[in-house]
Amino acid sequence: MSTDAVDTQPSTLVSEQAAENSARLRADDSGQSGNLEKIRDILFGQQARDHERRFTLLEQNLAKEANALRTELNKRFDALEAYMQQEVAVLSGRLQHEQHVRGEAVQQLLADLTGLGTVVERKSTELAQQTLQAEQTLRQEALAHMLELKDNLRQTQTQLTDSLDRSVKDLRHAKTDRTVLAELLAELSKKLQDGAQQS
């Protein structure tokens, strides 16, 4: 047998022994851990089950409370939504009513303004007609007065011319003196003044 063969044999034995020892330790550990679990179950099992039951109840209570809270919130949101819809409907009704009232007021104001415009137009037409009639009347009166004055002046002129012609004829025929001529001219002047005052 060679030296290499001798060296290989003891190392294989060492490996096998180490594997056996390791398997024994694992078996011992698993047995011990099973024992530890049993001991742990005996010492703390009841308490752990109580805690688990309490956690389960607590979780159920929390779920119930969350559902109740969710339901309550939904109810409140529904009530708030209904209230808001009602308020919006009321405000919308008020706004529509106010718009209607204002529309009627505007229509009434337009009707009043239209009536007032008609009245003003009628009064303006009447005033224009009255002014035209008054102007025509004044023109007619002024024309009549002017014609009357013209007629008076013509008559006065005719009278004065006749009087002057008579006086000249009388002067030519009678050859009166200066006193008669002065009296004649004074009478003529007086007639002229009277004629001017009458006109």
| pLDDT tens digit sequence for 116-173 | 989 999 998 999 999 999 999 999 998 998 888 888 888 888 888 888 888 777 766 6
Helices (H) and strands (E) in the chain, counts: 2, 0
pLDDT confidence of residue 4: 46
| Residue 96: predicted pLDDT | 92
171: Cβ–Cβ under 8 A, 6 or more apart, which residues?
181, 184
Distance of alpha carbon 151 from alpha carbon 154, whole angstroms:
5
Supply the pLDDT for residue 29: 58
Domain containing 44 equals 3-198
Position 14 scores a pLDDT of 53
Token output for 9: 């044999």
Residue type, 4: D
**Is pLDDT above 80 for 95?**
yes
Is the Cα dihedral 60, 63, 65, 67 positive or negative?
negative
pLDDT interval class at 180 (50, 70, 90) = confident
In terms of Cα–Cα distance, which of 117, 119, 121, 97 is closest to 109?
Answer: 117
Quick check: 80 pLDDT over 80?
yes
pLDDT in tens, 35-78: 777 777 777 777 778 888 888 999 999 999 999 999 999 999 99
Q: Which amino acid is at 63?
A: A
| Close Cβ partners of 152 (under 8 Å, ≥ 6 residues apart) | 195, 198, 199
Compute the distance between CA of residue 59 and CA of residue 65 in angstroms, rounded to an integer: 10
Residue 192 confidence (pLDDT): 83
CA dist 96 and 90 (Å) reads: 10
Q: Into how many domains does the chain fold? A: 1
Report the predicted TM-score, pTM, of the whole model to 2 decimal places: 0.34
